[in-house]
Amino acid sequence: MSEVPPATPVYAAEPASVPGKTLGIVALILSFFFQLIALILGIVALSQSRKAGVKNTPALVAIILSIVFGIIWIVVVGGLVAGGAALLSQCADLGPGVHQVGGVTITCS
């Protein structure tokens, strides 16, 4: 009796991975929370992809979002610091207590 060898399964070829794509996606997610880290990772991912000659849209979007959100963050923090400094300066001039200035109640301690 002749034995029939078991059939070997045929697997589909894995799709070629895009170098830097995973890093680009990570950078895209981080761009909403940690802009500087996301900017660096996005640049690295885009560089890896360009060396391989492929497009990496998530990395490019991460770079753009990191820059935009970083600028917004700087403007907001700058405004808060300037507002706090103005309030402290006004409290230094008025002294302790509750004061009405231009229809706004300011409490200085």
Q: Does any domain span residue 78? A: yes
Q: Does any domain span residue 14? A: no
Task: Please give, one letter per residue, the 3-state secondary structure of 50-94.
Answer: HHHCCCCHHHHHHHHHHHHHHHHHHHHHHHHHHHHHHHHHHHHHH
Q: How confident is the model at residue 1 (pLDDT cuts 50, 70, 90)?
A: low
pLDDT score for 15: 57
Q: Does any domain span residue 62? A: yes
Q: Per residue in 25-38, pLDDT tens?
A: 999 999 999 999 99
Q: Does any domain span residue 1? A: no
Q: Residue 31: which domain range?
A: 21-108
**What pTM did the predictor assign?**
0.70
Q: Does any domain span residue 34? A: yes
- Asked whether the predicted pLDDT for residue 13 surpasses 80, the reply is no
Q: Per residue in 46-103, pLDDT tens?
A: 999 999 999 999 999 999 999 999 999 999 999 999 999 988 898 888 889 998 888 8
Q: Does any domain span residue 11? A: no
pLDDT score for 102: 87
Phi and psi dihedrals of 37, rounded to 5?
-65, -45
Number of domain units in the chain: 1
pLDDT score for 18: 77
- Asked whether the predicted pLDDT for residue 108 surpasses 90, the reply is no
Q: What does pLDDT average to over the chain? A: 89
pLDDT score for 75: 98
